[in-house]
Structure 1
Amino acid sequence: MGVNVFAVPVFFICFRECLETVVIVSVLLAFLKQTIGPDRDQVVYKKLVRQVWLGVGLGLALCVVIGAGLIGAFYGFGRNHFAGTDDIWSGAFGLLATIIISIVGAALLRVGKLQDKWRVKLAQALEKNDTKASGSATTRLKLWTQRYAMFLLPFVTVLREGLEAVVFIGGVGLSLPATAFPLAVICGLAAGAAVGYLIYRGGNTAKLQIFLIISTCFLYLVAAGLFSKAVWSLENNAWSKIVGGDASEVGSGPGSYDIRQSVWHVNCCNPQLNGGGGWGIFNALFGWQNSATYGSVISYNLYWLAVILVFSSMRFKEAKGHWPLMKAKVQETSESVSASRGLVSGPVEETKVEKKADRDEAPTVSRLRRGTMFWPYPALASIASLFGTPNGHEHLGGPSAMDDVPSNDGKSDEHGIVSIAAHGDIILQVEHETKQASHVVRFRVSSPALKQHSRYFERLLQAGRFGEATRVEEQHKELRQRYQNMTEVPDVELPVIVVQDLGRISTVKSIAGLVTDFLYILHGKDMQTFPPVANLANLAVVTDRFDALEVVKSYVDRKKIIRALDGKTTPKVDNALSEEKVRQRLLVAIMLDYSPWMEKYSARLVIKGWTGREVDVSEALWWDLPQRVEDEIAFRRDCLLETVQSLQSYFLQLYTSRDRQCRLGYDSSPQCDSFQLGEMVRFFIKMGMLHMRGAVFDASDEPAIPYAGDINTLHKLSRKGTKKSTSPQSSMAHPQNNSAPATRRPVSQNNPFRSSHDAPPAYSPASNAAPTLLPPNISVTPATTQGADDPYAFLNTFDTVFLIDDSGSMAGSRWRETALALETITPICTAHDSDGIDIYFLNHGDRDFHHNVTSSGTVREIFETIRPGGGTPTGQRLNQIIKPYLRKCEREGEACKPMNIICITDGEPSDDVESPLIAAAKKLDKYDAPAWQLGVQFFQVGRDEEAKRHLRQLDDELAEIAGDDDLRDIVDTVPFMGQEGTQLTGDGILKVVLGAVNRRLDRKKSKELHR
């Protein structure tokens, strides 16, 4: 009874053909939604979707009519004209279906690559003039097929699949009663439509290219089965002629198949017998038979081999530019190509002019260059242009297909605008200022895409919240009245949104590529090129600036960019990475939440240390890691160093206690403990892990600076014992001996006297009264310079700034000498600066009470709170003082008060001092400032001859170093003590406070300054 109502073979055939159809239709709908979409151009999107459904409906209606007519004719005339040739029809249609599905499958894989091209072509086709315009019938037909391509493709697909279903149903179902067809057909179509809906939903949510790959694989699986089944049908037709009928319709056992050609056979599941049970599903969908012949097995494998070869050849041609085993074609010149197309016969310049004229006359679609398609069969032109040719290039009839779409190279058009989205509705103007230059780049973008993925743009463009959103909405209303959709609007008429500052990125020649990559990701496109680590770090900074980390993180994860970077980095290269490259990777890990890099490279900084530098907001963000990671790394390194230090502290405290540690029986003695203590002290000193310091009076100039090297080296040293393979000078060298400044965090560790800000120990009590810095045998000699009553009156003109070297090399006698120097000159300077002097230190931070100091006693109190320790970044500190002052001079002009900087130092800088001084002198020359606008006096303490020569070089040879003989002289130098410990005279003190701004005092000889 069931067979008379529901024909299982008919159901499966309808289901399979419907499934093939819905795969292609789902791809079209998903393509339209992801390419044009209702949120981009709703009018065009709805028009194209209506074309798709109209083509599907008309094709389905024709198939039903043809199928019903065939069945009605069979049962009306009572004769099966199909019975003798059903295998031939099935085989022929199977081969035809295999060819069509294979071509369609190859075309589907190109949808993702040519998505932008087709978007523009669809827009062009829809805005063409009426097809009744003048022109040949071929031209009018071509224009019509282009305009209604989304109707023709589903119509042809549904019609072909429907006719194929009619043929296959005629082969297996005409032996059944007519009542078995309707329900089976309806259920098959319904099941296929349901599966198609699920495929469509998945295609909308998944990435288009992934969806296309899955769909193509399914279609090829069906095509391979159809090809094998077609060969089997042709072989079965020959066997049926031998036995005088269709043997497969009588059963599944012996005699129902050709035993001569059989590879294997299963005595069940014959699809000819009402579906063959559960196996009928595989037969209907994938063409798998219960009987295999040599021809069907070989053809199945040959099909897959052919697919592999074809796709390998296509991939080869895409990469190399020519087919395998063929020579590459020589590129034609512009003239020969133009001549072959019949464009012009003149020179190349005329060709360019004519092409430009053609573009100006063409309809406007985002000001993109147009291309013209020439196909021998206009009716198929639109369909083929949508899917592209198999080799990935246009035919020779017209320009390259890429002329129709913006290329992903970040290049701007004639208006200086980079097109990110052809349907974009705003122009995004990005401005970024660096030390070297100011960058301005403009992009055509889609505001819905920006708002969807960036919280920054979501708030900026929220209606009624900011003026930009209101202005954009008003301009959009005006544009909608003049244009049908945003694709038609020229770039120059779109509203402009200006955003400033991309964040703390590194110095780049152009920001166009960086911002283009960022905007491509926001618009669902791929980046222009595979980014190196530095670019990825800059991209992370820009992404954080515009609050779009989620979408960029998802893109980087999906593309496996970080894993690819790891794969390209060999262990040898990874171990040799510079600190900057390590920090770049760490910043990427922080921003994009990539834990393997976070764990690996933060541990490397903790173990190996880093180059200390002051935080500069103009530098890239990776030099000052966000989210308190910088402080956390410094803290963890401190904990490790403290753990290593606790090892020696434990044993030293143990053996300096009164408890005897030796456990040698009768040989135990205090001398044993003393011997062990001495050996430990010698071991730790030899390894550079311990320094002996006096507690009563520390006369050493060597500061106690935390170990700044590789902790692994420290661990190896502690294991080597007294071996001399690694000396303390090379492996345990202090930062003081390096050209780079010391580690900047934490600052308290640079103090040679203590590790915290607690009071000094009891054996060096502080006096209740403020100490007298000048000893009794030193006095200040009055000035002998003839002239005004007050020789220091010129000081009233200046803002006096003291820069005091508090580095580790200043500890001990030099620090006491600095105190004497301050006691000598600060009373004079505070008395002649109405708003007070300013005091800066090289390592200790600025405090409010360090500025506008009007009393020498306050200077003494400030000095007593400081303990020397750290590096000597003199050039960096001078730059931090001079640079803001020069900006002030540029703003105020002649009203800017001159500045007199007195730098008290031992003359041993660890960085470049010349560059900021030369830059300042050139800036002052540029501003045409007075000769005394800025002066820098180096007041040297200590008697280091090498340091003295360096300071004299700054004083006398700065113009020669700069290569500019006309460079103004803004530097002077004076030693605090003479060659034999002689004191400053009055003229010497006058030179200290005014020598840098008074050329007459600058020329005084050193022997005149001391007695």
Structure 2
Amino acid sequence: MPPTTEVATKKEEEEEEEEEEEEKTASICLDDTVHEVVEIRATGDVILDVSFENTNACTKSIPSEAIQKLRASKAKIPSARVFYRVRLETLKRHSKYFAHLLGSDVFGEGRTIKDTFAGLAQSNLNPSEVEPGLLPRIQIVDDDEATRTMGREAVFRDMLRIMHGAEHLTKPISITYLSVLVVMADRFDCMALISRYITGKFGSFRYAQTLDKSAEEILRQKILIFYHTNQAARLASATKELILRGSSRWVSFSDSPAFSTAWWDLPDGLEAELSHRRACILRTIASLQLHFLDLYTSRNRQCTLGYDSSPACDSFQLGEMIKFFTKKGLLSLIPFQATSPEDSDYIWPEPYTGDIENLIGLLRQCPNYQIDKNHSHCGLRSKILPPLDYIRDCIDTGVGIKVMRWRSDRAAHTWIAPEPTTGKGRKPFTVGGEDDMKTFDFTKSKSAMEMGANSFNVDQSAKTMFTAEKWIWTPEKEEETPRLVKTWPKF
């Protein structure tokens, strides 16, 4: 045999031996059953015995086709039990959860580690060199309630690998994978490390587009990921999208199992905040519509041309306005009712559950009605477009959640009013009128925002308008006959 051929054959044999060594896996025997051990570190000194409990409530899997195959075969969704060999000090350094659980003898797990290490030391054995069966074994249970996803053991393995300075193994990466990863990182309190890894390693990951309301779950998963990983621009955009489109959860009063996952109950008050912001925006837009209906039903004449036809012009504009709002489904003409609002027979107007951008688009379709050629600017269109433009500008830049402001100064960033503190459980009693209400003046606010249009001012302008209790959309005219100001006690 030629020398070159002999050397090549010997090299191939060495490579095969190396591959065989790499394929060898560690194992542990419990109750006469041999279990494979996933060696995150071959020199690890602790075994994590993790039970991943799955139920038929699981709707997703990693990989995604696994659950589809199970459903096709009508097989029961299996649970998994996996053993991971890890370094104790590495866990404690990167995870506050493990540092608290395993770092002292306060908990039984910490005492187990301390006692096992003491026994190995008496036998002159190094924990990083012994067989897995001699190491302290820490049991952890992970149920599927927070994610409704099977295959979480692969995500947990990758999380441990990232803690130990290695890269993830799961491929391909999906939005479900990233969602489960941040949920696990949140539970085991290692979010700082996982956040850096996600933004660095998966910075170019292409998130699926959410073009309509049917993709709400994906949108919510994106919000959860962006929030936990401090992706500010993406979070602001995604939260604005959910506010504008609305959520099936916000209009449903049932505790559906589908809403039990972490992304259907966004953390740190985000769920309530986003729902409240949508309600505030809708209330503001509704006030604009009611404002012009009130103007044209008041005693003050809106047509200022001074023609004999001016009174008829106002009546014409009011009629066309009501017809337009009703035709677009934006006004419910409900007469007075004999039943109480608490009665089941009481007729309530249907709430708006559509896209807010579509709502603004509907209002912008208002034609330029005129009773004759002399009344070219008397109608609703010329009056309603400037406020609608201002509302749209505030929505574009001042509605989404700014992650750093939300984390550092939530009280100033939230739109939800704080609970009144009265002391000793007594309700305050004050008497006031419209002067006590938070009032938004469109003309003044628009000028102020144009003079100082920075990020903070835009956010503040949006918050001021959308959280107001009273809106002045057009300059107030002196009334022909003074009206009595209504006052009422506030409780």
TM-score interval (norm. to shorter):
0.5 to 0.7
Query: Equivalents in 1 of 2:24, 2:221: separation in Å?
Result: 29
| Segment of structure 1 superposing worse, 701-710 or 610-619 | 610-619
Residue 601 (1) aligns with residue 218 (2) = no
Q: Counterpart in 1 of 2:289? A: 648
Aligned with 2:317: secondary structure?
helix
Question: Residue 660 and residue 700 in structure 1: after superposition, are their counterparts in 2 closer, same or farther (change >3 A)?
Answer: farther
Q: 8 Å contact 2:328–2:362 — kept in the other structure?
A: yes
Question: Of residues 200, 204, 212 in structure 2, which corresponds to 1:563?
Answer: 204
Question: Please, which of 257, 278, 293 is the counterpart of residue 637 of structure 1?
Answer: 278
1:705 aligns with 2:350: yes
Q: How does 1:190-339 map to 2 (within 5 A)?
A: none
Q: Equivalent of 1:716, from 354, 361, 365?
A: 361
For residues 356 and 328 of structure 2, the distance between their equivalents in structure 1, rounded to whole angstroms, comes to 13
- Pairwise mapping of residues 124-139 of structure 1 onto structure 2 (< 5 A)? none
Alpha-carbon shift at residue 434 of structure 1 (Å)? 4.1
Whether the 8 Å CA contact 1:424–1:444 is kept in 2: the answer is yes
TM-score, length-scaled by structure 2: 0.60
* Structure 2 CA distance for partners of 1:647 and 1:470, relative to 1, 3 Å: same
Q: 2:41 aligns with which of 407, 417, 421?
A: 421
Cα deviation, residue 376, structure 1: 5.9
**2:50 — aligned with what?**
430
Q: 1:406 to 1:550 in 2, by over 3 A?
A: farther
Residue aligned with 1:428, SS = strand
TM-superposed deviation, 1:403: 3.6
Q: CA deviation at 1:578?
A: 0.7
SS of equivalent residue, structure 1 residue 514: helix
Equivalent residue letter for 1:707: Y
How far 1:591 moved relative to its partner? 1.5
Query: Which structure has the higher relative contact order (CA within 8 Å, separation 6+)?
Result: 2
Deviations along 1:299-354, one digit per CA (max 9) or x if unpaired, are xxxxxxxxxxxxxxxxxxxxxxxxxxxxxxxxxxxxxxxxxxxxxxxxxxxxxxxx
How far apart are the structure 1 equivalents of 2:46 and 2:152? 19
Asked if 1:399 is matched to 2:16, the reply is: yes
Matched, 1:691 2:332: yes
CA distance in 1, matches of 2:7, 2:161: 37
Percent identity reads 34
Task: Please give the per-residue CA displacement for 1:179-215, whole angstroms capped at 9, x wherever unaligned.
Answer: xxxxxxxxxxxxxxxxxxxxxxxxxxxxxxxxxxxxx
Aligned residue number for residue 586 of structure 1: 223
Aligned counterparts, 1:534-545, within 5 A:
534-545=176-187
Distance 1:558 1:582, change over 3 A: same
The residue that corresponds to 1:80 in the other structure is none
Q: Mapping of 1:933-952 within 5 angstroms?
A: none
211, 226, 232: which is aligned to 1:575? 211
499, 513, 528: which one aligns with 2:140: 499
Aligned mate of 1:468, from 100, 109, 112: 109
Distance 1:716 1:501 in 2: 47
Q: Is the 8 Å Cα contact of residues 104 and 110 (structure 2) preserved in structure 1?
A: yes
Shift of 1:406: 6.7
Report the equivalent of 1:513: 154
| Rounded Cα–Cα distance in structure 2 between residues aligned with 1:398 and 1:439 | 34
- Once residues 543 and 406 of structure 1 are traced to their aligned partners in structure 2, the CA distance between those partners, rounded to angstroms, is 29
Counterpart residue type for residue 221 of structure 2: Q
CA distance in 2, matches of 1:659, 1:411: 87
SS in 2 for 1:575: coil
The amino acid of 2:42's aligned partner reads: A
| Count of aligned residue pairs for this structure pair | 327
Amino acid at match of 1:575: L
Q: Deviations over 1:655-676 (max 9, x none)?
A: 1111111222132443322221
Distance 1:406 1:578, change over 3 A: farther
Alignment of 1:874-913 (within 5 A): none
Post-superposition offset of 1:483: 5.7
The code of the aligned residue for 2:243 comes to V
For residues 522-558 of structure 1, the C-alpha deviation after alignment (integer angstroms, 9 at most, x for no partner) is: 1111001342111111111111101110110121123
* One-letter code aligned to 1:711: I
- Per-residue CA deviations over 1:454-502 (Å, capped at 9, x if unaligned) read 0010011123322221221221122234465334311122111112236
Q: Is the 8 A contact 1:502 1:542 kept in 2?
A: no
Query: In structure 1, the residue corresponding to 2:361 is in which secondary structure?
Result: helix
Cα shift readout 1:745-803 (whole Å, capped 9, x = no counterpart): xxxxxxxxxxxxxxxxxxxxxxxxxxxxxxxxxxxxxxxxxxxxxxxxxxxxxxxxxxx
2:175 aligned with 1:533: yes
Equivalent residue for 1:737?
Answer: none
Structure-1 residue corresponding to 2:194: 552
The amino acid across from 1:633 in the alignment is: L
Contact 1:430 1:499 in 2 (8 A): yes
* SS of residue matched to 2:184: helix
The CA distance in 2 between the partners of 1:586 and 1:690, in whole Å, is: 33
Distance 1:496 1:694, change over 3 A: same
Code of the aligned partner of 1:430? V
**What secondary structure, in the 3-state scheme, does the structure 2 residue paired with 1:421 have?**
coil
Match of 2:267, SS state, is: coil
Asked whether the equivalents of residues 450 and 458 of structure 1 are also in contact (C-alpha less than 8 Å), the reply is yes
CA deviation digits over 1:719-740, x for unaligned, max 9? 22369xxxxxxxxxxxxxxxxx
The C-alpha deviation readout for 1:261-314, integer Å capped at 9, x for no partner, is: xxxxxxxxxxxxxxxxxxxxxxxxxxxxxxxxxxxxxxxxxxxxxxxxxxxxxx
SS in 2 for 1:396: helix
**Which protein has the larger Cα radius of gyration, Structure 1 or Structure 2?**
1
Report the secondary structure of 2:140's partner residue. Answer: strand
Q: What CA distance in whole angstroms lies between the structure 2 residues aligned with 1:575 and 1:495?
A: 50
Cα distance 1:421–1:406, how it changes in 2: closer, same or farther (>3 A)? farther
Quick check: 1:533–1:565 contact (8 Å CA) kept in 2? no
- What's the secondary structure of 2:301's corresponding residue? coil
2 CA distance for matches of 1:434 and 1:412?
23
* Distance 1:636-1:400 versus aligned 2 partners, 3 A rule: farther
The one-letter code of the counterpart of 1:599 is: A
What does 1:16-415 correspond to in 2, within 5 Å? 395-399=12-16, 401-405=18-22, 414-415=34-35
Aligned 8 A contact 1:460 1:469 in 2:
yes
Cα separation, 2, equivalents of 1:697 and 1:679 = 29
Structure 1 residues 412 and 718, CA, compared in 2 at 3 Å: closer, same or farther?
farther
Matching residue of 1:445: 86
For 1:399, the aligned partner's letter is E
In structure 2, give the amino acid aligned to 1:486: P
Partner of 1:187: none
Mapped to 2, the partners of 1:407 and 1:475 lie a distance apart of: 26
Preserved contact between residue 425 and residue 444 of structure 1 (Cα < 8 Å)? yes
Q: What SS is found at the alignment partner of 1:415?
A: strand
Q: Contact between 1:504 and 1:541, CA under 8 Å: does it hold in 2?
A: no
The match for 2:130 is: 489
- For 1:716 and 1:456, the matched residues in 2 are separated by 50
TM superposition shift of 1:622: 0.3
| Distance in 2 of aligned mates of 1:495 and 1:412 | 12
Structure 2, unaligned runs of 5 or more: 1-5, 57-77, 369-491
> What's the CA shift for 1:589?
1.2
Contact 2:54 2:144 in 1 (8 A): no
Change (3 A) 1:607 1:412: farther
Aligned CA RMSD, in angstroms, stands at 3.1
Over 3 Å counting, the alpha-carbon distance change for 1:669 and 1:407 in structure 2 is: farther
